[in-house]
Amino acid sequence: MTSFTTPIPLQPEPDWPAVAAIPIVDDEQPLHPLSLSRVLRVYPAYFRMGVRHALPECYSRMAVFERLLQVARSLPHGVHLVVLDAWRPFAVQQYLYDSLYDAIREYYPKLDERQLEHLTRQFVSPPSSSRNTPSPHLTGGAVDVTLCDEDGRWLDMGTAFDEASPLSATAHFEQLADYRERDLQVRDNRRTLYNAMAAQGFSNLSSEWWHYDYGDQLWAWHTGASAALYGPVQLQTLDTVWRKQLEQQLAAEQH
């Protein structure tokens, strides 16, 4: 049985060159719509915010979907898992990165390009659809999640989703010298989410309490896996389905 009170361990910032060097052996699982489940609460945050090209559905690889179901079923009575984002179109990744980069540059005009990129990357990965170094959310292995109560009220996680703040670090509320009542509640809510996700094999990005990975290069780096399971993936269109079917039919006829 999962312990939801275990303290969240301090995790180092990812070694991004090492992450990028991890090979990918894609098992070609398709993307699966998460809102088909009655167990998960799905709230596509970027679509609701009006972000251009954001989708009104959240998709993940099938193994990620199955693990999210187990997380949701393991939570304490009355607590529900909410999926805010999962697979992203490239255009959304580009928009998020550029928007945060520009905002940081505006408020910290003395930072050089390397410093700006470092700060931005703590919250948004550089957009990449490369077969060898894809952005985590372009693989269908990364998910952004939070918790709500039985009636749909957000549990207090200390910051808003996507808040670019030191307070967003997953273990931030483990480090306080003095705790107010609210601090303790936030700490416990984050522990519940972290321990439930970790128990199902997800890794966490230490700068974001909401971001978890399974199967992508970031997950492989955190867990010591020899290879990532997921590279970049696209939603299937009718055109690609037809072409794949025709290729398979042609191959069968030739044999």
Distance (Å, rounded) from C-alpha 84 to C-alpha 44? 5
Average pLDDT, stretch 33-61? 97
Q: Which amino acid type is present at position 154?
A: W
Share of the chain above pLDDT 90, in %: 87
Judge whether residue 171 has pLDDT over 90: yes
Instruction: Please indicate whether residue 183 or residue 249 has the higher confidence score (pLDDT).
Output: 183
Instruction: Give burial (CB, 10 Å; 0-12/13-18/19+) of 142.
Output: buried
Residue ranges per domain, the chain?
16-254
Known binding residue 144? Answer is yes
Quick one: which of 207, 211, 183 has its CA closest to 197? 211
> Which H or E run contains 81?
strand 79-85
Give domain 16-254's CATH number out of 3.40.1410.10, 2.60.120.10, 3.30.1380.10, 3.40.50.10260. 3.30.1380.10
Distance (Å, rounded) from C-alpha 109 to C-alpha 120? 14
Contact 45, 161 (CB under 8 A): yes
Known catalytic residue: 13? no
Q: 12-21, 70-79, 140-149, 241-250: which has the minimum mean pLDDT? A: 241-250
- Work out the pLDDT band at 208, boundaries 50, 70, 90: very high
**Which residue matches tokens 């970031």?**
218
Contact 37, 145 (CB under 8 A): no
pLDDT tens digits for range 78-130? 999 999 999 999 999 999 999 999 999 998 899 999 999 999 998 999 999 99
Catalytic residue among 150, 174, 208, 253: 208
Judge whether residue 239 has pLDDT over 90: no
Average pLDDT, stretch 199-212? 98
Average pLDDT, stretch 213-240? 93
Helix-strand-coil split of the chain, %, nearest 5: 40, 10, 45
* Overall pTM surpassing 0.85 (yes/no): yes
Distance (Å, rounded) from C-alpha 44 to C-alpha 56? 6
Known binding residue 211? Answer is yes
